[in-house]
Structure 1
């Protein structure tokens, strides 16, 4: 049975990879008109930082070129005519060299063949990748709202470019809508992160540790089961109610201490990633695809019931104290990364792309809160319902695994195809 599952999983993964490659080939050779222009930050020949999203309110003409490209050199004459026609307050022309030559050579090329518009070098190739550049010259006219209105490969007459720029100039600005979209985007990101954090609690890598936590808690609970008010009360119902209330509060308290371990782990993982956001963003398009494909593969294998657990061997500590619950929380969160690290990376990259360090930091806290909330709930249930919760959780686990697999595949597909989905910068 296990061998058949592995063969099935291999076939599923192979079909998915072939489908993704085929989809890429189709998409890369189709026009990007009507889609959001991917944002980027480059340095021009004067050392100035050029960020595409900061050009909002202007029409942008992007020219992907190279010094060695003869058609690109021929196109410079047409671009001169376009550049002279428009005021810099409403239009910007950016030529981006794809051959990663140094800025000094590009400045010399600019003086010889062009005019005083902006020239940059795509040193990492990430910008060319995000725009799907397979041949040059490639020109994009982007309207004031960041939407690609015209996409052309090869040389083109200046009159056609001017006509397309005029169309882009006539599009209306929608800054308030853009702010609403940005706000809604963050709400969606935080909601998704919270849900992923909750789901991570039940991942196959760390869920096997839960029974030991429950057993450990119950043994501790039995040693502290009586309370002074319960002893004083003569009414059996009052005793039962007081005992249940005390048990619930104690469960919430120790569940919260355990959850603090989650916060410590995910902040320790997330903060270094956030601080390195500039370097990460340079390779974000490729990292997104790699992580997305990894999620699809992992989800497919989980759906085929192939065991992928890469757990951290952490047991509930014998010493019964609040510190021991915190340490268990550290181990539980670390164990979860064996299965859900790609998802954590996904929400991290989405946060960095959306709002940088500040949004990423909030995402880490939201992720840990989602996972921690489940731990608090489970701890309260354990405190009030004893061993019954173990059987319920074990019966629920197969369903959680299937749901997790579907979410992984969906998240992976979203990451792979996200840059082709129209959205604001």
Structure 2
């Protein structure tokens, strides 16, 4: 009986290990195909906190950072000062569009967040969640980097610090 249980456990572990290896191979294939193909960012229009309409294609000519976030997200709160400092130091060559997933947030909390962190880059309101879904921003913060031609060159999930932002933008230039 002990031998049967032992073989069962070993069999399950082999299956799990094999599954993990297959998943890693599949993930690497997906990552490689993303870097081989050019993916132009899909254009969108969203309102800002002050009611202006921002269209993604208007940022062409600058490296654009699309940052998907929510006011209740702790990692988003941690990264906000880094984004703001980076923007202040690089706004001549970089545009940051902070896309708030307003469909999962409260507008007054969004305004409070932007004021508390003294955000000076555009805060866009994705009230329907369509843009966030289109860009696959299911985990927040999610950040997508576009080159000057509007082509997606890197995606990052999780909070970022200013040094990382600088490193990514320098690799795009």
| Higher RCO structure (Cα 8 Å, ≥6 apart) | 2
State the aligned residue count: 141
Select the structure that is richer in strand. 2
Alignment partners' CA distance in 2, 1:162 and 1:150: 13
Structure 1 runs (4+) deviating above 6 angstroms are: none
| Counterpart for residue 137 of structure 1 | 141
Where do residues 50-199 of structure 1 align in structure 2 (5 Å cutoff)?
A: 50-88=54-92, 90-100=93-103, 101-168=105-172, 170=173
Runs of 5+ unmatched residues, structure 1: 1-25, 171-425
- Output one character per residue of 1:376-409: Cα deviation in whole Å (capped at 9) or x when no partner: xxxxxxxxxxxxxxxxxxxxxxxxxxxxxxxxxx
Alignment partners' CA distance in 2, 1:87 and 1:74: 21
Alignment partners' CA distance in 2, 1:128 and 1:114: 23
- Output one character per residue of 1:141-193: Cα deviation in whole Å (capped at 9) or x when no partner: 1111011112100112211211211232x2xxxxxxxxxxxxxxxxxxxxxxx
Where do residues 385-404 of structure 1 align in structure 2 (5 Å cutoff)?
A: none
On the 8 A contact 1:45/1:104 being kept in 2, the answer is no
Alignment partners' CA distance in 1, 2:147 and 2:49: 24
Shifted more, 110-119 versus 99-108: the winner is 99-108
Alignment partners' CA distance in 2, 1:69 and 1:102: 12
Distance 1:99 1:44, change over 3 A: closer
Alignment partners' CA distance in 1, 2:43 and 2:134: 9
Runs of 5+ unmatched residues, structure 2: 1-25
Alignment partners' CA distance in 2, 1:128 and 1:65: 9
Alignment partners' CA distance in 1, 2:167 and 2:51: 32
Cα offset, 1:113, TM superposition: 2.1
Alignment partners' CA distance in 2, 1:87 and 1:61: 11
Select the structure that is richer in helix. 1
Alignment partners' CA distance in 2, 1:41 and 1:138: 19
TM-score, normalised via structure 1 length: 0.31
- Output one character per residue of 1:9-45: Cα deviation in whole Å (capped at 9) or x when no partner: xxxxxxxxxxxxxxxxx89xx6666522111100001
The alignment's C-alpha RMSD in Å is 2.0
Where do residues 247-258 of structure 1 align in structure 2 (5 Å cutoff)?
A: none
- Output one character per residue of 1:344-396: Cα deviation in whole Å (capped at 9) or x when no partner: xxxxxxxxxxxxxxxxxxxxxxxxxxxxxxxxxxxxxxxxxxxxxxxxxxxxx
TM-score, normalised via structure 2 length: 0.73
Find the structure with the greater CA-based Rg. 1
On the 8 A contact 2:102/2:128 being kept in 1, the answer is no
Alignment partners' CA distance in 1, 2:107 and 2:47: 9
1:43 lines up with 2:44 in the alignment: no
Cα offset, 1:107, TM superposition: 2.0
Cα offset, 1:109, TM superposition: 1.1
Where do residues 1-400 of structure 1 align in structure 2 (5 Å cutoff)?
A: 34-88=38-92, 90-100=93-103, 101-168=105-172, 170=173
On the 8 A contact 2:84/2:120 being kept in 1, the answer is no
On the 8 A contact 2:45/2:54 being kept in 1, the answer is yes
